[in-house]
Chains A and B, each alone.
Chain A
Amino acid sequence: MYHIISIKDFERGEIDELLDKAQAIDEASGPFSTLNGKQVALLFFEPSTRTRMSFASAVARLGGTTLCVDSVEGSSISKGETLADTVRVVSSYVDAIVLRHPKEGAARLAAEFASVPVINAGDGAGQHPSQTLLDLYTIRQSMPLEGIDVGLLGDLRYGRTTHSLAYALSNYDLTIHTIAPKSLELPTPLIGELLDRGCEVVEHEDITDIITELDVLYATRIQRERFPDAASYYEVAESYRITPELLEERKENMIILHPLPRAGEIDPRVDALPCAKYFEQAQNGVPVRMAMLKEVI
């Protein structure tokens, strides 16, 4: 049985193959019947709009149906049931489980107890492989994943999407630029891991130092709760805000991605620029997740 738990479980060839399959789905007109008569459980014990809806859309486009849990409160976990028991029981109702859970490693546990394939839709601050795959897919739509400079901006310490993406990018011959305040830098063990894998990593604090060199700028939300007071948050948030003025000297084909939801880190005026790819990125969630579902079921 094949589960999708972490981007670390993928070799580069497997990633490329999955992205090729997503592209083939994207380019085909459909309809698809892969999941005709199949049911997929969407167990979302944490709020998520895009991930949950794009998985629901992916299942429907493949001809399948979904059974949904949208919160801990709406499930037997609120009565003290373990995730292991929930997953064991739900396995007997469906053909695959898509799990979003606040605890790190929850998807790995679910895979141990489930009798059907499990896809990790984000566990705590841990892994979010479907997001990473759609991030890679979106980059690949604009440029090859080789010989490019990718900037990761914002909260790199706690943001799981940047951790997974950085790891996935280390499969390719490119340079990662981290752009973050000292307190929110990429964790040292992860940087060590990237360097061990032969990836070039350059650290920056000021985005203006590197903006003209970047082919991809991947922005993430800087969270207010990571700062001791409002003043220090606003000071940092303002200096990491992406504006049309900041982008004036950008490379011609540079693209901006954001896993969304955004909270002021990208000026809405940027939305109209050709480099703004974050809504297309969200849209790409459907073909990428369709490819993932086809892979496991």
Chain B
Amino acid sequence: MQEEPKGLLIRPIRDGTVIDHITHGEALVVLRILGITGSTDERLSIATNVETRIRGTGGLKDIVKVSNRELSKEEVDRIALIAPNATINIIRDYNVVEKIGVEIPRHLRGIIRCTNLGCISNANEPIESAFEVTANGLRCLYCDTVINSDFAQHII
């Protein structure tokens, strides 16, 4: 059997952001959280189910590289919901100039849809969804509904 060719899975980027250690299978959700779609201008490299030796990951991770865009702290923290182990590397001229971990913010606005269909945040009102991050999960600041699993499913 022919041996798998060695080499870089995806090329380094000159300037931009590398989001590493994303929970495997969640790379596309990360893009959705960042508002990156097929019609936006960023140049993207996405690798899914990449081998990793980090414990607790099942031996797999995803990586997203976004060229010519440095993510803000707020954008980074949104990712924490579905990829709590992710690390963000800010790249300038091929060098890592900043390496930051993600942390879940205390409040989330306009990111998660409330699972309660009777909640006013799901009605046609000029408001964004609003959640407080608590030990028990995400609590809707309008109707008190708590979401404690499958966050990715409820991302707007």
Contact = CB atoms under 8 A, between A and B. Distances in A.
The reply to whether chain A is a binding partner of chain B is yes
Interface of A: 6, 8, 80, 82-84, 101-106, 108-109, 112, 123-127, 189, 192
A46 to B, nearest CB: 12
B88 to A, nearest CB: 33
A124 B125 contact: no
Contacts of A109: 120-121, 125, 127, 142
B123 interface: yes
Nearest to B137: A189
Nearest to A167: B144
Contacts of A108: 120, 141-142
Contacts of A102: 118
Interface string B118-156: 111101111100000000100011111110000000000
B116 to A, nearest CB: 6
Given A84-B126, A105-B121, A124-B143, 20 more contacts: A6-B144, A82-B126, A84-B125, A103-B119, A103-B123, A104-B116, A104-B120, A104-B144, A105-B120, A105-B141, A106-B120, A108-B141, A108-B142, A109-B121, A109-B142, A124-B118, A125-B118, A126-B144, A127-B144, A189-B136
A6 B143 CA distance: 10
Interface of B: 116, 118-121, 123-127, 136, 140-146
Contacts, number: 54
A189 B136 CA distance: 9
A89 to B, nearest CB: 14
Given A124-B118, A189-B136, A192-B136, A105 B124 contact: no
Given A82-B126, A83-B120, A84-B127, A105 B136 contact: no
A83 B125 contact: yes
Nearest to B144: A126
A153 B54 CA distance: 52
The 10 lowest CB-CB distance pairs between A and B, nearest first, are A105-B142, A104-B143, A105-B143, A105-B120, A103-B120, A106-B120, A109-B120, A124-B118, A108-B142, A82-B125
Contacts of A127: 144
A287 to B, nearest CB: 28
A192 B126 CA distance: 33
A123 B125 CA distance: 15
In the complex, which of the residues A103, A123, A124 has the most CB atoms of chain B within 10 Å of its own CB atom?
A103
11 contacts: A8-B144, A80-B124, A84-B127, A103-B123, A104-B116, A104-B118, A104-B119, A106-B120, A108-B142, A125-B118, A126-B144
A8 B141 CA distance: 12
A104 B124 contact: no
A193 B116 CA distance: 19
B65 to A, nearest CB: 39
Contacts of B118: 102-104, 124-125
B66 to A, nearest CB: 34
Given A103-B118, A104-B119, A82 B140 contact: no
A104 B146 CA distance: 13
A244 B119 CA distance: 40
B18 to A, nearest CB: 38
Nearest to A83: B125
A79 B120 CA distance: 18
A191 to B, nearest CB: 12
Nearest to A108: B142
Contacts of A192: 136
B89 to A, nearest CB: 38
Contacts of B145: 104
A114 to B, nearest CB: 13
